[in-house]
Amino acid sequence: MSEINLALGAMEFGTRIDEKTSFALLDQYVAEGGVWIDTADCYAFWQSESGFGGQSEELLGRWLAQRPGVREKVRIATKVGWEPLVVDGFPEQTEGLGTAAIDAAVETSLRRMGIDHIDLYWAHRDDRNTPMDETIAAFGRHHAAGTIGRVGLSNWALWRVERARGLAANLGVVEPTAIQSRYSYLQPRPFVRGHVHDHRFGWVTDETLDYVENQPAWDLWAYTPLMSGSYEREDRPIHQAFDHPGTTRRLETLSKVAAELGVSRSTVVVAWLCGGTPPIRPIIGASRREQLAAAIEGARLDLGTDLRTELDRPW
C-alpha cells in the first residue's frame, strides 16, 4: 500500500471520540497507507473534566502498546505551547515555549505515548514572551539527544518563521522545516478576525504558499481543511468570514466537479490540497470511518489539469 499525503488528526481521540472508535480509525488509516498522526500535549483540555490536556497522547500510547510493530509504520507529530497551566487558564496562562516548558513537555509526551522519540515536534504557537533563541536552542538540544526529529512551526507569522530559521542556523542546531496553519478550498475575506480560532497568523496565505514552494525541504500542513464538515452538512453553516461572492462561485464549481467525478465535495477538496503546488498535507479529524474513507479517496485522486484549472480559475 503506497503512502498517502494525509495526516490523521487525533485531537479528539480519548475525549469526544471514544477509545473503540479512535482505535478503529487509527487501524483504518494505517491499513490504507497512512503514516502521519498529528496530536498535541494540550488535546483536548476543553473537552476534559480536568481542564487539562493529554488524553489524545495517552490514547495513542495505549493504541501503540496494543499494536506491536505499528510504531515502525507510523510517524508521530505532537505539539507544545498551548497546554493551560491552570484550569480555565487558556489562552493567557499556558505553558509557552521556554526551556523548562519544552523540557517538561517532551518528557511528558514521550511517556504518555510510550515512545522514545517524536518524529515531528511542533511549536503550537509563537510565544513572544520568550526569547526566540531560547526556544530554538531547546528544540536543538532535544534534536541532538534524539528525542525529537524535525521541528515545525504552527500559527507563526512568516517573518518569525524566517527569523527562527536564521537563529537555528547561527546556533548550529536543527532548523524548522514545516509549517502548520489553517487552509481549505474556500478562502476568508482579508483581515476578518475570529475565523481561525483567534490565531492571527493561523491561515495559509499566498505568501505562505510561495515560501514553501521555494523551500524544497519544507512541508506545509493544513488543519481544518474540511471546515468542520461545512462542505457536506447543512447543520454546519460556513462561517461568516467566508461570506463573499468568491465563496458562491467556488462552491458552485466544487459541486460541479464532485458530481462529474461521482465523489463528495470533501473528497475533491482533499484532492485539490494534496495535488497542488506546493502539495499540502491535510490533517483530517475524522470521527467516522466513512469520513476518513472519503478523505483517503481524495488523497489518491488525481484531478488532472482541466479540473484543477477549473477549480483554480479566478473568482
> Any bridge partners for residue 37, and if so which?
8, 76
Q: Is residue 143 part of a domain?
A: yes
User: Residue 179's pLDDT is what?
Assistant: 98
Domain-embedded: residue 109: yes
65 falls within a domain? yes
Q: What is the DSSP letter of 161?
A: H
Residue 163: predicted pLDDT: 98
Backbone angles phi, psi at 121, to 5 degrees: -110, 120
Residue 2 lies in a domain: no
pTM of the model as a whole: 0.96
In a domain, 114, yes or no: yes
pLDDT at 199: 77
Is 1 part of a structural domain of the chain? no
C-alpha cell of 246?
468568491
38: CATH: 3.20.20.100
Q: Which residues span the domain enclosing 226?
A: 7-312
Question: Which residues are CB-contacts of 150 (< 8 A; sequence separation ≥ 6)?
Answer: 119, 120, 121, 174, 176, 177, 178
* Residue 46, C-alpha cell as written in the block: 476543553
Which residues are annotated as catalytic? 43
The predicted pLDDT at position 201 comes to 85
Please give the chain's pLDDT, 315 residues, in tens: 789 999 999 999 999 999 999 999 999 999 999 999 999 999 999 999 999 999 999 999 999 999 999 999 999 999 999 999 999 999 999 999 999 999 999 999 999 999 999 999 999 999 999 999 999 999 999 999 999 999 999 999 999 999 999 999 999 999 999 999 999 999 998 877 655 455 788 899 999 999 999 998 999 999 999 999 999 998 899 988 899 999 999 999 999 999 999 999 999 999 999 999 999 999 999 999 999 999 999 999 999 999 999 999 876
Query: How does pLDDT run across 131-183, given as a tens digit for each residue?
Result: 999 999 999 999 999 999 999 999 999 999 999 999 999 999 999 999 999 99
Please check whether residue 203 lies inside any domain of the structure. Answer: yes
Q: Each residue of 258-278: b (16+ CB within 10 Å) or e? A: beebebbbbbbbbbbbbbbeb
pLDDT of residue 315: 65
Q: Residue with C-alpha cell 483517503?
A: 296
Q: Show the cell assigned to 188.
A: 476568508
Q: How many domains does the chain have?
A: 1
Is residue 262 in some structural domain? yes
Long-range contacts of the stretch 203-211 (C-beta < 8 A, 24+):
204/280, 207/158, 208/158, 208/179, 208/181, 209/277, 209/278, 211/158, 211/161, 211/179
Cβ proximity of 172 and 142 under 8 Å: no
